[in-house]
Each structure stands twice: as structure tokens, then as C-alpha cells.
């Protein structure tokens, strides 16, 4: 394992490294595996699930930059007007701007806000975005930061719905089944669609999940 970059913030430690066995670029936060650039199908589904529901994705918000694969999938859609990315770790943004992580930030449709996604979403005007995509943890049961637990509750999900235009959609990524998240999304949006995604994670068969609610 070759370390590419390391940074520390008040929330802990970020490490970017290259695996020797398969050459994958891997991101870890406080020792927890977040993602790599080998298995990106669930991040791409997070984007495509939203795009399939929205007729005119003029403005989309993504919570969590990661290695950029959710945003990259959004940018592949010519209908996309603007994507706002809320990323709490400034060093991760810097790594992408410097080229340590393949960048999607030079696309003029991308705007990055360094801050907590809860604050970024709360500050949006009501009915101002067509989709909100949340990929800030490994799901509600495997948090990167403990403070993120409120992201998956009905209170914040209600805020998300208020920011969506009519016909808008919320998609939430999770590495595991979460009955509590399904219940919360269903309570706020009336129904919750759960989309399992088969993935290969370092030689293991796994299932990831996308939870979706439409306004």
C-alpha cells in the first residue's frame, strides 16, 4: 500500500493511498474505508436514479465529493445545468484541484461549497433544486463522523424535501440495509424505493443500496 496524501482536520484524519494488489486509489477517513476507484457502480446509480426521475435537472446538489464518481456520472448527462457539491473536508477538495485525484472541478457546471451538507442544504432557498444526492458516509449504520447521524432522520430529510422543486428527487447511498432510513424517507416523501446494487469489493460479493424519495 502506497500512501499518496494524508491530512488532518478537527474531525480526524484523511488518507489517500494506492493499493498494490490491484492499483486502486482508495480513500479512508479515520481508518475507515470510504471508497475506491475500482467499484463505482453504486455512486453512478445514485446519480442515474435521480436523473431518471427528473425531467429537467437544472440544479442538483450532491452531499459528499468522495473521488468524484457521483458528480462525474451527473456531468455525463447533457441536460444537467449546475451541480453544487457540499464537501466538509477542504483537503479533499485541494487533492482534487491539484490532480492527486482525477478532477471534475474544472467543468464549469460544477460549484464546490466547503461545508457541512446539513448547513449547505438548510441555506438553500425552498424549491430551488431538482435533486439532492447524499453520499457522505457508508450509510446511517456505518458513519464516517458520528455527527452525521442526523442526516438520516426525518428532520433533515424534511428539510431536503422543502428544498426540492416539484418533481424533484432525493437519493441516499448506504453500504447496508437500513430499515430506519427506509422508514424515515417513506414518512417524509410518502414512499421510499430501495435499489440494491451488486458490487465486487476487493474480491468479495457485496450489496450496496440506494434509497430514493420523490417530491
**What pTM does this model have?**
0.94
Confidence at residue 150, expressed as pLDDT on a 0 to 100 scale:
96
Let me know if residue 57 belongs to a domain. yes
CA 68 from chain centre, in angstroms, equals: 9
Let me know if residue 7 belongs to a domain. no
Let me know if residue 207 belongs to a domain. yes
Let me know if residue 20 belongs to a domain. no
DSSP, collapsed to helix, strand or coil, labels residue 9 as strand
What are the E-state strand segments in the chain?
2-9, 12-18, 25-29, 32-36, 59-63, 82-87, 110-114, 129-134, 164-174, 193-201, 204-214
Range of the domain at 152: 39-214
d(CA 60, CA 83): 5
Report CA torsion sign: 135, 83, 185, 115: positive
Confidence at residue 175, expressed as pLDDT on a 0 to 100 scale:
87
Residue 79: give its domain's CATH number: 3.40.50.150
d(CA 67, CA 9): 18
Q: DSSP letter at 134?
A: E
Let me know if residue 22 belongs to a domain. no
**Structural domains in the chain (count):** 1
Confidence at residue 39, expressed as pLDDT on a 0 to 100 scale:
82
- Closest Cα partner for 29 from 48, 50, 8? 8
Block mean pLDDT (10 aa), the chain, length 215: 94 94 92 88 88 95 96 96 97 96 95 97 98 92 90 97 97 93 97 87 78 94
Confidence at residue 201, expressed as pLDDT on a 0 to 100 scale:
64
Question: Cα(first)–Cα(last) distance of the chain, in Å?
Answer: 44
Confidence at residue 2, expressed as pLDDT on a 0 to 100 scale:
93
Tell me which long-range contacts 140-145 makes (C-beta under 8 A, separation of at least 24): 140/174, 140/178, 140/180, 140/181, 141/174, 141/176, 141/178, 142/32, 142/175, 142/176, 144/29, 144/30, 144/32, 144/34, 145/11, 145/12, 145/29
Let me know if residue 4 belongs to a domain. no
Neighbouring-strand partners of residue 14 = 7, 29
Let me know if residue 119 belongs to a domain. yes
Let me know if residue 91 belongs to a domain. yes
d(CA 171, CA 173): 7
Confidence at residue 207, expressed as pLDDT on a 0 to 100 scale:
87
Q: How many CB atoms lie within 10 A of CB 119?
A: 11
Confidence at residue 97, expressed as pLDDT on a 0 to 100 scale:
96
Amino acid at each position: 500500500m502506497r500512501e499518496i496524501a494524508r491530512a488532518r482536520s478537527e474531525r480526524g484524519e484523511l488518507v489517500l493511498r494506492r493499493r498494490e494488489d490491484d492499483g486502486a486509489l482508495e480513500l479512508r477517513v479515520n481508518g475507515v474505508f470510504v471508497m475506491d476507484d475500482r467499484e463505482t457502480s453504486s455512486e453512478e446509480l445514485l446519480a442515474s436514479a435521480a436523473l431518471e426521475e427528473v425531467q429537467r435537472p437544472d440544479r442538483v446538489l450532491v452531499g459528499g465529493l468522495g473521488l468524484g464518481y457521483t458528480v462525474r456520472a451527473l456531468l455525463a448527462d447533457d441536460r444537467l445545468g449546475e451541480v453544487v457539491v457540499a464537501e466538509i473536508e477542504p483537503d479533499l477538495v485541494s487533492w482534487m484541484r491539484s490532480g492527486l485525484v482525477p478532477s471534475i472541478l474544472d467543468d464549469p457546471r460544477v460549484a464546490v461549497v466547503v461545508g457541512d451538507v446539513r448547513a449547505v442544504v438548510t441555506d438553500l432557498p425552498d424549491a430551488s433544486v431538482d435533486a439532492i444526492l447524499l453520499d457522505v458516509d457508508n450509510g446511517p449504520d456505518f458513519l464516517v463522523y458520528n455527527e452525521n447521524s442526523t442526516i438520516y432522520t426525518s428532520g433533515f430529510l424534511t428539510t431536503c424535501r422543502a428544498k426540492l422543486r416539484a418533481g424533484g428527487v432525493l437519493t441516499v447511498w448506504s453500504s447496508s440495509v437500513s430499515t430506519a432510513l427506509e422508514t424515515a424517507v417513506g414518512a417524509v416523501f410518502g414512499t421510499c424505493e430501495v435499489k440494491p446494487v451488486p458490487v465486487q469489493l476487493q474480491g468479495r460479493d457485496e450489496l450496496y443500496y440506494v434509497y430514493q424519495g420523490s417530491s
